[in-house]
Each structure stands twice: as C-alpha cells, then as structure tokens.
C-alpha cells in the first residue's frame, strides 16, 4: 500500500512546484494526476507571469495593483507574500531552464497586462504555461528517487482518520480500473479550478472542480466561490481564449459603430483595465445593441494594430487559433470575441502556507482560495499564485511530516468508492438522463444566470436548476461498462463534483447583495464596503450548504473607489 510524507493531487504548476519543494525539504513525495502531468491545464496558460523585476518597478506597486484589481476583497497579507516573492520565483524558473523572452539588450522582456501600472509580465511567446510546465517536469524527473509519480490515477475521495484529519486518498488507476488507498501524512490538493461548470469556457474538459468538491465534502469551507472571472476576449464560436497578451501588445476593442468604446468605461487604462471592468463594458455594448456579428453578440478585437512581425513572434499561438477555430488571419483582420468564463477566484479556503481547516490537508493553485485574487484576478497573477503557494504548501507539509507518524487509514472509504463506481456502471441505460445532457444544461444555466450580470431572480432560478440536476445526476447513466480507460464513469463522478461547485457558486452569489469585482448584481449595483467587505465561506454542515463570513485581511491599503 503506498505511503508518503506528502501526497500531491494534481500535476499542473501548483502540484509540480509543491512536489519539488517538498522533495527538497527531504520528504518522501508522491504526485498523482488524472492525466499525464504535461497535459494538465496549466499547459494552456498563454500570456505570462507577473513579477516586479524591472528596476523601475517595486513589488509594492504589484501588490497594490493586485489589491485594487481584487476590488479590495483580496487578503493583503497573502498578496504581499505573493508579490514580494515573485521576482525570486521568476528568476528561479529562468535558472532551471524556462526560456523567457529577452529584449534586444538581452534583458528579460516584460509585456503590459490588464490592471498593471507598468509592464511586469514575463512571457514565452504565448505558450508560457507550456514552457514552465515542461521545465518543472524535467526537474521532477531529476527527483525520481524521492518523488513517485502516479500518472493517470483519478482520486475519488479524501480519507479521514477518526479525529477528522486527512490521512490520504482513494484513487482509481485509469488504465486498469484498479482502486487503491494511498496513505499520507499530508495531502496537498493541486487539482485546478472548475471551469467546466460553465459552457462555454476557456478551460479544458478535465477542469471539473474535483479537489474543491472533495475538500468541501469532508468539511473544508469554500471561500469567494461567487467570484467567477469572465475573460474579455474569448472566441464567439467556441469560447477559446485569445490571450490578454494581444491587448498588452496594442490590440484594441471596437463595437459595431467602429468606436473604441473602452474610452467611456476606463479612459486611462482603456483595453488594459482589469478583466471584470472590460468584460462588463463589452457586455453593456452588446446588450445596448452595439455588438457585432449576425446576432450582435460579439465585439471586434483588432490585433492588426500590432506590427505583423511582432504578432507572428510574440502571439504565434493565437495566430493559429484564429486561423483554425475562426477562419481569421488576425494579422490582417479583426476577430470576433466576447466575454467568456475563464477562471474561478474562489476555492478551498487556506492560510498563507496552503493549510486548510482540515488537519493534514493543504490546497494550492486554482483549487485553493488563499484569496490573492479576491473579487477579480489580474491576468498573469495565476501562474504566480500556483508557484508561490504551491512551493509554500510543499515546504510546510514536508516540515509537518517530520513531526508525525505515518497514519494507518482504514479501507472503509475504499470499499465505499468501489461500491459507488459499481453502482454507476450498473445503472440501467435509458433509466435516467445522460451525464452529458445534465452537464450541458448545467453549463448553459450558469452561463445564463451566473455570468457577467446577475440578479436575484436569475440566481434563484439557477439554484433550483442545479438542485434538480443534482437529483437527476443520481440516476444518470453511462455507456461504457469496462475497466480500461473508462472515461465515462469518471465523467459521471466529475459531474457530481461540478454540481457541488455550481451550488456553492450560486449560493455565494445569492448571498452577496452588492456588486464587487466579478460579481455584478443589477439589483444591487453598488459596492457596499460597510456590509460586504468580507469573504463568504460556504461549508457543508449537516445535510446542506451553509454560508458564513470571514474578515478580509487589510495591511496597508484601505478600500477606495476603483477607477481605471
Ligand atoms: C487558456 C488559458 C490561458 C491562461 N493563461 C494564463 C496566463 O497567461 N497567466 C496566468 O497567470 N494564468 C493563466 N491562466 C490561468 C492558469 O493557467 C491556471 O489558473 C493555472 O494554470 C492552474 O494551475 P493549477 O496547477 O492550479 O491546476 P491545473 O494546471 O489545472 O492542474 C490540475 C491538476 O489536477 C489533476 N486533477 C484534477 N482532478 C483530479 C483527480 N480527481 N484525480 C487526480 N488528479 C486530478 C489534473 O490531472 C492536473 O494535473 C490561463 C488559463 C486558461 C484556461
């Protein structure tokens, strides 16, 4: 039976960084992922990673921009840590082999990104996530004696001992269907976000909120779940992302009247205001009849403003995306985009070392909410979040491991999960709805009612639908009854995770009766610091979800009106 000091669930940037940090502290480490590590969703990250490495910059300026971007909901102690440790982390990446773009003087080049008061985004063309992920994976190979890799293993549950501490997980080998209990002194969730709750989304099919739901089910509170980021530039056809790097390089947004409408909404930062502001501006233009395209649901993104040579060099991936997925040569004509679901600011509530309220359970990366993003994440701050808090969680967990014996988890959870999978496989075909149908209705519902603009009636309707879908999911049937690479059965389990995440998101959005960051309530259009400068925590108590509040940590920046 596998037993480790530190068991990491997820091999994206947060997971791999945590594994390397824990290994360097001398812990025995395992990293487990439902897909091959370099297929983790971090591979899609495009535009770059923020760090105040320019000599004219200062981490405090980065921190202030992040606090302001968060609409003052971010916890400032965590933001200070992230921004002050950023330069060292980016230099570390460079030293281990990430080929960041350099300027003609040979210095690390930095590009502009939304909400930033100066250029501070280091990048590798528009494949920054891929570049970092592959280098970290090489580093993991170096540590093969201390880091065991379980690739294509799917975690079904977290395991608790009698005191309620987390002492490992139950997982299924995707290749064979074999189930096993993994014992661990510490478990770090690095399972990514929950973008697939929405349709369309920029997120890959694997981003289904597994870790968020698993932690929630054993009692860990979820924080800021109502804060869901809609990215301003996603393809109208299918929701694929056109990186903010395009606007950073000089691309502009135009409505049907050819007007550069951001002048009205953010006269100083224009297209490089924070994402919540730009997405809302676009949605307003569309709702007021100035959208483009056959049904007026799009906006033009004009990248022809960027010199063609520069686009082909620094934005080459979106050149391909434009051609392959929209039939548009972005170097010669505008491309039609609109706001689309991209990121969740909320997740499993943690402290600044990634520790959750459950002893022995950590979380880092998009699965977690240490609350560095608050109500709205600044572009290029997520990669940073994954690396800084992945490392801190790995180090903390490794040190904790030195102080406790290896737990001996019983196999009750294993038996329960085997029975749960047998029950899904045995469901009568046609006895309920298909998993895919329920998922499609969930995605459409969230995109209609829990999107850029929200109101009480729409949110309540969404909640009713989510509750009905939860019932229907209990009898949702699958086609594949086999054991080898049975993605069908995993899809049914993931549906349950997504429904839990959706319910927490909707409840948080109903609860927060104000507009802040990504949550814009048309029935409460103002930010209300007096009543709502606080986090909403959603916990599973007894039978159902319950909301409670926790304070926002303010160190040096008092809330003020946000203007771009
Ligand atoms: C198109 C796109 C572009 C982006 N560009 C940028 C950018 O330029 N800059 C930036 O800062 N941010 C960017 N982001 C956001 C950023 O990429 C993500 O927030 C970040 O990479 C998440 O990393 P992670 O390590 O938390 O999770 P992920 O990379 O999503 O990894 C999750 C891991 O968990 C594993 N896992 C999940 N569930 C299970 C389970 N049940 N059992 C076992 N394993 C499991 C997966 O296999 C995977 O290994 C972008 C996002 C998208 C969608």
Ligand 1 in contact with 210 (CB < 6 A)?
yes
Contact of 111 with 249, CB cutoff 8 Å: yes
Query: Ligand 1: which of 149, 366, 373 to mutate, most ligand atoms within 8 Å of CB?
Result: 366
Measure CA of the first residue to CA of the last residue in the chain; give whole Å. 55
Query: Ligand 1: which of 7, 82, 382, 497 to mutate, most ligand atoms within 8 Å of CB?
Result: 382
Report which secondary-structure segment, H or E, holds 342. Answer: strand 335-344
516 assigned to active site: no
Contact of 204 with 44, CB cutoff 8 Å: yes
Ligand 1 in contact with 209 (CB < 6 A)?
no
**Beta strands 153-160; 166-173: pairing state:** antiparallel
Across the strands, what pairs with 228? 344
Per-residue pLDDT of the chain (564 residues; tens, 9 = 90+): 789 999 999 999 999 999 999 999 999 999 999 999 999 999 999 999 999 999 999 999 999 999 999 999 999 999 999 999 999 999 999 999 999 999 999 999 999 999 999 999 999 999 999 999 999 999 999 999 999 999 999 999 999 999 999 999 999 999 999 999 999 999 999 999 999 999 999 999 999 999 999 999 999 999 999 999 999 999 998 999 999 999 999 999 999 999 999 999 999 999 999 999 999 999 999 999 999 999 999 999 999 999 999 999 999 999 999 999 999 999 999 999 999 999 999 999 999 999 999 999 999 999 999 999 999 999 999 999 999 999 999 999 999 999 999 998 779 999 999 999 999 999 998 889 999 999 999 999 999 999 999 999 999 999 999 999 999 999 999 999 999 999 999 999 999 999 999 999 999 999 999 999 999 999 999 999 999 999 999 999 877 899 999 999 999 999 999 999
Respond yes or no on whether the N-terminal peptide bond of residue 200 is cis (omega within 30° of 0): yes
Report the atom number in ligand 1 closest to the C-alpha of 494: 41
Residue nearest to atom 23 of ligand 1 (CA): 42
Report the atom number in ligand 1 closest to the C-alpha of 244: 8
Ligand 1 in contact with 387 (CB < 6 A)?
no
Q: How far is the CA of 368 from the centre of ligand 1 (A)?
A: 12
Nearest alpha-carbon partner for 415 in 180, 177, 104, 111: 180
Q: How far is the CA of 304 from the centre of ligand 1 (A)?
A: 30
In angstroms, the CA 63 to CA 77 distance is 10
In angstroms, the CA 279 to CA 244 distance is 12
Q: How far is the CA of 341 from the centre of ligand 1 (A)?
A: 14
Residue nearest to atom 8 of ligand 1 (CA): 47
pLDDT at site 236: 94
Query: Ligand 1: which of 7, 18, 42 to mutate, most ligand atoms within 8 Å of CB?
Result: 42
CA distances from 159 to 98, 209, 214, 241 (A): 37, 18, 10, 37
In angstroms, the CA 365 to CA 294 distance is 39
**Active-site entry in 111, 247, 275, 512:** 275
Across the strands, what pairs with 494? none
Structure tokens at 84: 């002050």
Contacts of 541 (CB under 8 A, 6+ apart): none
In angstroms, the CA 288 to CA 524 distance is 20
Across the strands, what pairs with 166? 160
Ligand 1 in contact with 158 (CB < 6 A)?
no
Q: How far is the CA of 349 from the centre of ligand 1 (A)?
A: 18
Q: How far is the CA of 387 from the centre of ligand 1 (A)?
A: 12
Report helix, strand or coil for 481. Answer: coil
pLDDT at site 372: 98
Give the chain's length.
Answer: 564
Ligand 1 in contact with 13 (CB < 6 A)?
yes
Side-chain-facing half-sphere of 210: CA atoms under 13 Å: 24
Handedness of CA 4, 164, 189, 88 (dihedral sign): negative
The percent of the chain in helix, strand and coil, each rounded to the nearest 5, is 40, 20, 40
Across the strands, what pairs with 344? 228
Q: How far is the CA of 530 from the centre of ligand 1 (A)?
A: 35
Ligand 1 in contact with 235 (CB < 6 A)?
no
In angstroms, the CA 519 to CA 527 distance is 10
Ligand 1 in contact with 129 (CB < 6 A)?
yes
Q: Where are the alpha helices (DSSP H) in 70-186?
A: 76-96, 128-142
Ligand 1 in contact with 155 (CB < 6 A)?
yes
Q: How far is the CA of 307 from the centre of ligand 1 (A)?
A: 31
In angstroms, the CA 24 to CA 395 distance is 8
């Amino acid at each position: 039976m596998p037993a480790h000091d530190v068991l990491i669930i997820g091999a994206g940037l947060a997971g791999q960084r945590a594994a390397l940090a824990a290994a360097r502290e001398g812990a025995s480490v395992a990293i487990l992922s439902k897909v091959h590590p370099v297929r983790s969703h971090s591979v899609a990250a495009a535009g770059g990673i923020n760090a105040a490495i320019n000599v004219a910059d200062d981490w405090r300026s980065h921190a202030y921009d992040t606090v302001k971007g968060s609409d003052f909901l971010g916890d400032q102690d965590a933001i200070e840590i992230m921004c002050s440790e950023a330069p060292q982390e980016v230099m570390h990446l460079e030293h281990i082999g990430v080929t960041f773009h350099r300027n003609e003087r040979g210095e690390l080049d930095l590009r502009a990104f939304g909400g930033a008061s100066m250029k501070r985004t280091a990048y590798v063309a528009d494949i920054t996530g891929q570049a970092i992920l592959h280098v970290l994976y090489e580093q993991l190979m170096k540590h093969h004696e201390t880091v065991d890799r379980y690739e294509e293993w799917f975690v079904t549950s977290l395991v608790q001992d009698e005191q309620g501490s987390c002492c490992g997980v139950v997982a299924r080998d995707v290749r064979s269907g074999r189930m096993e209990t993994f014992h661990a002194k510490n478990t770090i969730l690095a399972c990514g976000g929950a973008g697939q709750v929405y349709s369309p989304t920029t997120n890959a099919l694997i981003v289904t909120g597994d870790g968020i739901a698993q932690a929630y089910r054993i009692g860990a509170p979820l924080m800021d779940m109502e804060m869901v980021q809609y990215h301003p530039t996603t393809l109208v056809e299918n929701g694929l992302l056109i990186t903010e790097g395009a606007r950073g390089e000089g691309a502009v947004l135009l409505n049907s009247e050819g007007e550069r409408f951001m002048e009205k909404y953010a006269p100083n930062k224009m297209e490089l205001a924070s994402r919540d502001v730009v997405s809302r501006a676009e949605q307003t233009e569309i709702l007021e009849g100035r959208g483009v395209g056959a049904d007026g649901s799009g906006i033009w993104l004009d990248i022809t403003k960027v010199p063609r040579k520069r686009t082909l060099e620094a934005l080459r991936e979106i050149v391909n995306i434009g051609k392959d997925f929209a039939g548009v040569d972005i170097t010669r004509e505008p491309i039609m985009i609109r706001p689309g679901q991209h990121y969740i600011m909320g997740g499993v509530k943690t402290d600044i070392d990634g520790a959750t309220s459950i002893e022995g359970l950590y979380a880092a990366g998009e699965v977690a909410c240490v609350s560095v993003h608050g109500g709205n994440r600044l572009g290029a701050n997520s990669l940073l979040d994954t690396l800084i808090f992945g490392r801190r969680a790995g180090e903390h967990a490794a040190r904790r491991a030195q102080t406790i014996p290896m737990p001996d988890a019983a196999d009750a959870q294993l038996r329960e999960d085997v029975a749960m999978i047998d029950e899904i496989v045995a469901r009568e075909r046609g006895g309920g709805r298909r998993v895919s149908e329920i998922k499609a209705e969930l995605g459409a519902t969230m995109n209609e009612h829990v999107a850029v603009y929200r109101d009480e009636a729409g949110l309540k309707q969404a909640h009713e639908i989510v509750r009905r879908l939860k019932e229907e999911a209990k009898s949702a049937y699958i086609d594949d009854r086999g054991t080898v690479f049975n993605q069908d059965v995993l899809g049914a389990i993931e549906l349950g995770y997504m429904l839990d995440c959706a319910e927490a998101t909707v409840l948080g959005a109903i609860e927060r009766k104000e507009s802040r960051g990504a949550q814009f309530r048309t029935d409460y259009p103002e930010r209300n610091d007096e009543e709502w400068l606080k986090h909403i925590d959603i916990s599973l108590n007894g039978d159902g979800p319950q909301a409670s509040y926790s304070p926002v940590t303010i160190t040096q920046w008092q809330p003020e009106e946000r203007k771009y």
